[in-house]
Structure 1
Amino acid sequence: MEKRERVSGVWIFYLLLLCTSMLWAGNFVAGKFLVGHASPMVLTDMRWVAAIVCLLPIVWWKDKKLLPPKKAIWPLFLMGLTGVVLFNLFMFLALERTSADNVGLLSALNPVAIAIVSFFLLRERMTRRQVFGMIVSLFGVIVVISHGDPVRLLRLHLNVGDLYMLCAVAVWGLYSVTGRWAMKSVSPYMSTLWSGIFGVLTLLPFTVTSMKITEPSPSFWLATIYVSVGATVLAMLFWNIGVQRVGGTKSGVFLNFNPIFTALLSFWLLGEAMTGVQLSGTILVICGVYLFTAIPRRKKMNVVTNM
């Protein structure tokens, strides 16, 4: 009975990862507005400072302490360096030098990067079905981003911006792996808090002299609250919980939902229409994620019969 509950309970963590993708998609929409008021690095520092303030009471409530053990310091610092600093830096450098189509397409390689890094550093292996599910899901993302037009993909030429985005993809794979390393000795709550602290401390010397906000409005502060609480605190907590419970490789596949939710939110908030091609790509992504994450029937039967 206990093992049967364990099988059904894993879907809770898949739901958290799905919520993470939705929250990060909302971050892209809100970020479009915020970037007109401050530099990307200033915005990154602002959102994480606000996130840290929110996380402090949560960590105290859940863990009854705020300081991590000494053995967790190094992996937590690496989480902050990769997930908070380098990923954002490379992504913004990419957006300055290449098209959004290129960045969106290359970001679909995040799950592949996580799987590759997890394979080499954690020895996480993938079944043939998982590989097939990853390919199907990735193909769905390509359909959405290219709007079903193969010519758009043929016109994508690698430039310096594309290389920066490839660096961002590789860094996210490292962040996911260092997250699993850190969460062997700390909770997802504490790992999120301290990766943010180390990330802010690393960024601060580069942003302290350029802390400038242009024409802040109530809408600006509302968007800032969203990206700080929703897209940072909740999303990073959900993500780290998912990585801890189901592994970095399976968690990474849910990143393929990011462009899907972005399209849905753009339709709802910005009035951009969703085409039949985008809907078809969405279905492919969902099928790929299911193939990757679902437990085979034979294995599920073994779990039930071996109660």
Structure 2
Amino acid sequence: MPTSPRTAYLSGLLLALAGSVFFSAKAVVAKLLYREGIDAVTLIALRMLLSLPVFLAVAIYTWRRRPRLSANDMGRIAGLGLLGYYASSMLDFLGLQYISAGLERLLLFLTPSFVLLLGIVWLKRPVTARQWLSLVVAYGGVVLVFWHDLHLGGRSTVLGSALVLGAALVYAVYLLASGELLKRVGSVRLVALAMSVSSLACLAQYALLRPWPTLFEQSRAVWSLSLVNAGLCTVLPVFLTMIAVARVGAGPASLAGMIGPVSTLFLAYWLLAEPITGLQLAGTTLVLAGMLLLSSRAASPKA
């Protein structure tokens, strides 16, 4: 039985929501890893080392699918991998050294606004009134929580926030740039190849900046947390998010990421003992209101 446009849209939103929750948990796992004494370069190298076998296996399995990839296609895929999964991730993990997990996820939440604005300027895409309204409502919540944390962290909060904002902007460019290639090449094949490139870049970075053998001399706790970071917070959400983008588009998929700040707030409270204040709860309520607007019938395309 054929799937209706509305069913496909709602399933895409659900995939985007799940991907956002798993991606968001990455910030909490990273904070736990930093408590074990490693830095951002080591963290991302371990993350990608453990992720690489999966992405390589999928890349090899999908290699012969049509259309065949040209040298130009491979160059574009390599560029997307370096942009969306290396540069953006590196900026994000660097920023996490200075700010809380909750604030990091709220700042990455700015990605939908960058996607919408870049989409208007770059691709001339229309934006519905409901999308704008959902964004405005949710941003009210972001502003409340950001203002709260900014008064507590001082200069380190400013530095960390700038790095994470850079990550959000880079990832927004990646989402838009991957759209046409994603439709032609296929989400699974594209993400497997792009993540393989990113993984190799992260490992090369470690080899250039650190003695290579030290990467394998980490404690059992670091390896265990890195396995969680690679499997549940990288491999799984990457595929979920890319499939969601293919079904509903970059804008709605990014807006669905509004659930990320909410899940991170409570995970950080549970696992990191980061406080939850009334101001943060008020902001969380506004974020949830924005999610309800996004998922309502009026926000989805007509069947």
Structure 1 residue identity aligned to 2:33 = L
CA offset at residue 276 of structure 1?
4.6
CA distance in 1, matches of 2:16, 2:74: 26
Q: Confirm or deny: 8 A CA contact 1:105 1:141 kept in the other structure.
A: yes
Task: Tell me the residue number matched to 1:120.
Answer: 121
- Equivalent residues in 2 for 1:190-205 (5 A)? 190-205=189-204
Partner residue, 1:38: 38
Kept in 2: contact 1:52–1:193 (CA 8 A): no
Kindly state the Cα deviation for residue 236 of structure 1 after the two structures are TM-superposed: 0.6
C-alpha distance 6-119 of structure 1, shift in aligned 2 (>3 A): same
Q: Rate the CA distance shift 1:273–1:66 in 2: closer, same or farther, 3 A.
A: farther
* 8 Å contact kept, 2:86–2:201: yes
The within-5 A match list for 1:1-307 is 5-35=4-34, 36-59=36-59, 69-70=69-70, 71-95=72-96, 99-100=99-100, 103=104, 106-147=107-148, 152=151, 162-209=161-208, 210=210, 211=212, 212-213=214-215, 216-272=218-274, 274-296=276-298, 300=302, 303=303
Aligned-residue identity in percent: 24
Residues 198, 61 of structure 1: alpha-carbon distance in 2 compared, 3 angstrom cutoff: closer
Instruction: Could you tell me which runs of 5 or more consecutive residues in structure 2 were left unpaired when the two chains were aligned.
Output: none
Q: Deviations over 1:182-236 (max 9, x none)?
A: 2122222222211122223334443214133496333322211111111111111
Q: TM-score, normalised by structure 1?
A: 0.81
Tell me which moved more, 248-257 or 125-134. Answer: 248-257
Corresponding residue pairs, total: 296
1:87-127 Cα offsets, whole Å, 9 max, x none, are: 1233344456x644875554331111111222233322101
Given the two structures, how large is their TM-score scaled by the length of structure 2?
Answer: 0.82
* Residues 59 and 74 (structure 1), Cα distance of their counterparts in 2 relative to 1, 3 Å cut: closer
> Which secondary structure state, in structure 2, belongs to the residue aligned with residue 185 of structure 1?
helix
1:261 shift after superposition: 0.8
- Aligned-residue CA RMSD (Å): 3.3
CA–CA distance in structure 2, aligned partners of residues 23 and 256 of structure 1: 13
> Any idea what SS the aligned residue of 1:124 has?
coil
Q: Which runs of 5+ in 1 are unaligned?
A: none
Q: Alpha carbons of 1:159 and 1:135: their partners in 2 closer, same or farther (altered >3 Å)?
A: same
Q: Deviations over 1:241-290 (max 9, x none)?
A: 11111111111112332221111212333455544543433332122123
What is the rounded CA distance, in whole Å, between the counterparts of 2:146 and 2:298 in structure 1? 30
- Kept in 2, the 8 Å contact 1:27–1:227? The answer is yes
How far is 1:77 from its partner?
Answer: 1.5
